[in-house]
């Protein structure tokens, strides 16, 4: 097991002219690279959530309307979501080992511009730059995680994604401790984190450049010629619907759980936030668990349990007392969060040779759904009640029954 970014892992091309090609090298899990890419994911998603957390400050500083705040979000989401599959598709055909530090450079530029932005128009440009950085990072870093997995694709994706989960939870905390007390200019201080990430990602880029032949190795080991084009299309459609059910339900918790607890149980804000933190910790645990279990028992089984299996708990939640609400959200967080690694790796094996495009498609789709879900559910809560939102969302996991239409990809591969 590798424990540091030593020269064998990240130092680049060996000086020995007799170094064997990657395809001939024995596969092993490069934990140093997985740790580095997970750390970079933490910084990337910390910055993304930080931008959302400073909206109240920007609204006050620039006298923005809620419509203008929404336009900032739209600009950010368009660049962060819609560009991801396009970038992933391009880099599948034309690998760019140093695209990761370049992408983080866009994020750095966006932060610095946001710290000195004199008007709303410049804020939009800054938000677009931060979104572009995220759109480059996710498909390419997911590819690196798969390259470093040594065949443990679920484990690698789980380790990668848990870094993002941790970063998302740190962003609002960073905003509260640093940005809000010190004002807009202090956004530039966060750029030091982006600089650290650029250094780490440059080292990863050297390792990536040293191991370009994994594309051919991946195509050779993941072929599923027995599946027809219509079967692949059906399976991808089912996966998209499963991601929809997962992220729309998560949007109801992430955005409105504190309001739900305050409204139903009359909790103070601080106590409600503790319950939300417990849920986020459960999500992080589920993210780590789902990938390795999928490697062992098969990803389709994990998808079954994590989407459809969580339905009884979500349907009980709107009728539970405070104690059982807390218990149920822990179970829901762990079980539901285990799905994404399994879905992503399943899709990558369904369409071999398109690792970047698939990662970009699903990360972008998931990110976009989170924003859309929050907006739609907010409108529903205004029109009805926050309790009604949770009753409606409790049925979303039943979409998991569509898993029955997924072909047994791993079984087919074993027979090939």
Query: Which residues make Cβ contacts (< 8 Å) with residue 74, sequence separation at least 6?
Result: none
pLDDT of residue 25: 42
Cα separation, 343 vs 338, whole angstroms: 9
- Other CB atoms within a 10 A radius of the CB of residue 55 amount to 15
pLDDT of residue 410: 66
Cα separation, 202 vs 4, whole angstroms: 15
Cα separation, 211 vs 13, whole angstroms: 9
Domains and CATH numbers, the chain: 26-221 (1.20.1250.20), 229-415 (1.20.1250.20)
- Sign (positive/negative) of CA torsion 345, 351, 356, 360? negative
pLDDT of residue 220: 42
Largest CA distance in the chain: 70
pLDDT of residue 303: 93
**Cα-only R_g, the chain:** 21
* Angle ∠(242,245,249) on CA atoms, nearest 5: 145
Cα separation, 210 vs 334, whole angstroms: 37
DSSP 19: P
Cα separation, 158 vs 33, whole angstroms: 14
pLDDT of residue 255: 72
pLDDT of residue 133: 92
Query: Which residues make Cβ contacts (< 8 Å) with residue 291, sequence separation at least 6?
Result: 152, 153, 154, 155, 156, 157, 158, 159, 338, 341, 342, 345
Closest by CA position to 44, among listed 219, 197, 211: 197
CA distances in angstroms from 210 to 137, 156, 375, listed in the order given: 19, 19, 44
Query: Which residues make Cβ contacts (< 8 Å) with residue 232, sequence separation at least 6?
Result: 350, 351
Which residue in the block uniquely carries the two structure tokens 């040594």? 150
* Angle ∠(197,203,205) on CA atoms, nearest 5: 95
Average pLDDT of each block of 10 consecutive residues along the chain (416 residues)? 45 39 56 93 88 79 80 81 86 86 94 93 93 90 88 88 83 80 89 94 90 48 64 92 90 81 86 81 84 88 93 96 95 91 88 84 78 78 89 95 88 47
404-408: long-range pairs with CB below 8 Å, 24+: 405/234, 405/235, 405/238, 406/235, 406/238, 406/239, 406/300, 406/303, 406/346, 407/227, 407/231, 407/235, 408/300
């Amino acid at each position: 097991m590798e424990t540091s970014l030593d020269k064998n892992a990240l130092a680049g091309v060996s000086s020995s002219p007799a170094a064997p090609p990657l395809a001939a090298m024995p596969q092993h899990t490069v934990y140093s690279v997985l740790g580095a890419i997970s750390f970079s994911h933490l910084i990337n998603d910390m910055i993304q959530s930080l931008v959302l957390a400073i909206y109240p400050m920007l609204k006050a500083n620039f006298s923005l309307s809620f419509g203008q705040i929404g336009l900032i979000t739209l600009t950010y989401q368009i660049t962060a979501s819609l560009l991801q599959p396009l970038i992933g598709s391009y880099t599948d055909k034309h690998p760019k080992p140093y695209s990761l530090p370049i992408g983080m450079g866009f994020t750095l530029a966006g932060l610095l511009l946001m710290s000195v932005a004199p008007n709303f128009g410049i804020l939009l440009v800054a938000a677009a730059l931060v979104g572009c950085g995220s759109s480059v990072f996710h498909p390419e870093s997911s590819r690196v995680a798969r390259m470093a997995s040594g065949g443990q694709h679920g484990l690698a994706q789980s380790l990668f994604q848990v870094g993002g989960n941790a970063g998302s939870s740190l962003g609002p905390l960073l905003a509260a401790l640093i940005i809000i007390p010190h004002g807009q200019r202090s956004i530039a201080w966060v750029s030091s984190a982006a600089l650290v990430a650029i250094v780490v990602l440059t080292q990863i880029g050297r390792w990536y450049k040293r191991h370009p032949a994994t594309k051919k190795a991946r195509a050779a080991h993941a072929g599923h010629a027995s599946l027809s084009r219509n079967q692949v299309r059906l399976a991808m459609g089912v996966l998209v619907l499963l991601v929809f059910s997962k992220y729309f339900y998560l949007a109801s918790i992430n955005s409105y759980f504190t309001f739900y607890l305050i409204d139903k149980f009359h909790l103070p804000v601080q106590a409600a936030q503790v319950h939300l933190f417990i849920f986020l910790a459960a999500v992080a645990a589920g993210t780590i668990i789902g990938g390795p279990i999928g490697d062992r028992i098969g990803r389709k089984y994990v998808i079954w349990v994590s989407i459809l299996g969580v339905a009884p708990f979500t349907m009980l939640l709107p009728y539970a007392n405070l104690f059982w609400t807390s218990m149920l959200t822990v179970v829901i967080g762990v079980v539901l969060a285990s799905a994404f690694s399994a879905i992503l790796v399943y899709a990558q094996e369904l369409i071999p040779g398109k690792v970047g495009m698939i990662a970009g498609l699903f990360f972008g789709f998931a990110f976009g759904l989170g924003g859309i879900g929050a907006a739609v559910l907010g409108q529903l809560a205004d029109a009805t009640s926050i309790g009604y939102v949770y009753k409606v969302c409790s049925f979303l996991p039943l979409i998991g029954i569509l898993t029955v239409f997924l072909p047994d990809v791993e079984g087919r591969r074993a027979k090939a």
